[in-house]
Structure 1
Amino acid sequence: MKLKVSLRNTALAGSLGALMFTGLAAGASASASSSPAPAEKGTFAAAGSIDTDASASAGSSRYTRFTGTATGPFTYRIWDARNPKKTLGLLKGTVRQTEVLNYKRNTFQHRATITITTASGVLKNGASAKMKLNCGKDCSTGGYESGALKNGKSTVFNFTVKSGGTKTVKLRPQPTMKITGGGVTGPASGDGLAAVRCDSTYKSMGRGCVFPGVQPVFSLSRTDPEVNENAQHVYDAQRKISGAPGLNKPLHKVSTAQQKKNRGKMCPTGPSHPRPAGKECDEYPFASTEEGGNKNLGSTRLIDKDDNQAAGKRLRLWYKDNRVIVGDPFWVHIK
């Protein structure tokens, strides 16, 4: 599914595929010195899952370029290791995970909120929990956050994720838990939200992070007097060029060096290519895209110089604000 998000402050924009959290297998076990269950003795096992699945009715996920939210079921169970089908204690509820990224910072916030709606058996009085966020060598999240899981209560675990270095990296912080209750300490774990990408491409802003799976949208209006000629040209070109690049299929960002080559092909300069006073050559698809630089699948038009430069400035700033880097797909919407 393709998502189109125009600005970093855009509201929730729709689901971004299935977000799966896989619980640990029932073989993960912990021992207790005495049985917490009446008339039962022996070894007990426990495991849980932070299970957010967008394909299930109970789960959902929502993303923009800079925000991500996923909700779904939470389950933690204690059973008799000699009879795995026999549940001795159960916690059930929902988990909601959110991340708020920053387009010009290398840190972002991850919050997990667990709400318990069922507590039974040896876990009827709840349990204590310690959550940790794992994200590999390219980032840090701090240590464990502690809280209590009790029926009818919501517990929040907050983390600050930091991406180090200068390279472009993808991160996917994943939660793991240690839950203690009913005489047993057991694990619960799962995947986090969708992949986050952090980069240092735009030196003037420093390092920043986005959800690269969200394809942003650059927007102009034909009624905006500052850029109306450029907007009209793009509007006409999208409907003339085969495949409607930027409208029916995304454009893709290229390097500055390739951009210059593309512009030279579409809008050459010099004595043999004179310009009327106050006019500039405008090309679409943009010279800054893979789809640009092709005279057979492109359009050029002489438009007002100030109009053309204003639109170009907006596009450059938009690239920065949405951290669109080489290879990134994006869309163009003309009102």
Structure 2
Amino acid sequence: MTDDVNAEVGRVEIDAYAYSDNRLNRLEWPLNFRFRTRLISGSGAGLQIKPIIECGEDCTVALNAGVPLVIGGLSKELVVTLTPNMGGEKEKVVNPYVEYKVAKTGDSFDEGVSVAAFSGKAHVPRIRCDVGLAKAGTQGCVYPDAPAVMRSVKTNDPDVDESAIHIKEALAAGKPGKFIPRDDGTIFDSSDSNPLERLRDAADRRENRRLSKNQCIAQYGKVTGQCTFTGDPDEEPSACDCDEYPFAATRQGAKSGIFSVKRIDSGDNRRAGARLGCFLASQRILDGERFYIDVEPGGPASPEALCEADYSTSAGK
């Protein structure tokens, strides 16, 4: 911080925190900022900061006026919204660039004499947006590099515990879908993880379902219900008490030859299928993209659990 004759009168250190919420069925992508400021020397009072976000022609960025810094504490939250310029496209990847400008309170961030710009000090992951690809009639954005983990079917949830127990048994037997984190403290999956991959081809999903139903008949002698739903959120559901894992809506389904079937309560099966559909739609999992499932109690909250009002369905898997 300098005075009117450009002499230094104080020095501060600023940490920027940025995070985003995955908004359902919306293309607007909010970046939420807060700043922690520590005084290093002299006086640091009367400062403000503004994030400058650019992504060229790929998006439109809402204007923001910046936020005052709080010496020794956190600033108020500042939300900057990016909107992808889809231009009629079904899918677009946006790579935002962020820099920060710091100025004295009341000074112009554009022309003020006290403005200091800081580039190369921040990173925002690439954002992928789609219209109608994850589910017909919907739209949304995600961080595609972040592993997608379904956490809305748990072994201690009486609504879906039979489905969850079957999945747990299948994972223990070596079926794919278990998320194994890296040991570096990041959110990313390790090379030991064995993901599922979404399958959108309707004929292949039907074949997965046919093969799993045949296996159920061979294993149990009888299967009631139509057993036609595969877990894809664009498909009409029907009752079914033959549960299969991996899901028919994955490339690891029954056609792979390595799958498990189990007779479970049809209501449990439909509820778990509805949550799978919500997950695929709300987390914008596209054809061929990887995802995981975690059925153990506890862990992070499941964002897709909030989507049922927006992506309502009643289904098996």
Establish whether TM, by shorter chain, passes 0.5.
yes
Q: Which residue of 1 aligns with 2:206?
A: 260
How far off its partner does 1:140 sit?
Answer: 1.5
Q: Which residue of 1 aligns with 2:149?
A: 216
Cα separation, 2, equivalents of 1:184 and 1:222: 58
Distance 1:264 1:164, change over 3 A: farther
Query: Which whole-Å deviations, capped at 9, do the CAs of 1:266-312 have from their partners, x for residues lacking one?
Result: 3359x999844457543211111121124642123344545444433
Cα separation, 2, equivalents of 1:133 and 1:228: 45
Cα separation, 2, equivalents of 1:235 and 1:150: 48
Q: Which residue of 1 aligns with 2:117?
A: 187
Cα separation, 2, equivalents of 1:259 and 1:325: 15
User: Are positions 1:137 and 2:137 aligned together?
Assistant: no
Alpha-carbon contact 2:177-2:291 (below 8 Å) kept: no
Distance 1:173 1:228, change over 3 A: same
1:1-335 aligned at under 5 Å gives the runs: 36-37=6-7, 90-118=11-39, 120=41, 127=47, 129-149=49-69, 151-152=71-72, 155-156=75-76, 157-165=78-86, 166-180=89-103, 185-189=115-119, 190-200=121-131, 201-203=133-135, 206-212=138-144, 213-221=146-154, 227-240=160-173, 243-247=174-178, 249-257=194-202, 258-268=204-214, 275-277=222-224, 280-294=241-255, 296-326=257-287, 327-333=289-295
Q: Which residue of 2 aligns with 1:74?
A: none
Alpha-carbon contact 1:196-1:211 (below 8 Å) kept: yes
Query: Which whole-Å deviations, capped at 9, do the CAs of 1:106-137 have from their partners, x for residues lacking one?
Result: 1132232334322657x756555543222333
Cα separation, 2, equivalents of 1:314 and 1:168: 24
Cα separation, 2, equivalents of 1:187 and 1:139: 22
| Paired AA for residue 138 in structure 2 | G
How far off its partner does 1:172 sit?
Answer: 4.4
Max Rg structure: 1
> Which structure has more strand as a fraction of its residues?
1
- Say how many residue pairs are matched: 250
How far off its partner does 1:102 sit?
Answer: 0.4
Cα separation, 2, equivalents of 1:288 and 1:322: 15
Length-normalised TM-score, structure 2: 0.62
Cα separation, 1, equivalents of 2:155 and 2:56: 47
Cα separation, 1, equivalents of 2:48 and 2:272: 56
> Which structure has more helix as a fraction of its residues?
2
Cα separation, 2, equivalents of 1:208 and 1:246: 24
Distance 1:260 1:120, change over 3 A: same
Cα separation, 2, equivalents of 1:139 and 1:195: 12
Cα separation, 2, equivalents of 1:150 and 1:302: 59
User: Can you give the 5+ residue segments of structure 1 that lack an aligned partner in the other structure?
Assistant: 1-31, 38-77, 79-87
Amino-acid identity (%): 25
SS state of the match for residue 207, structure 2? helix
Distance 1:93 1:263, change over 3 A: same
| Paired AA for residue 118 in structure 2 | A
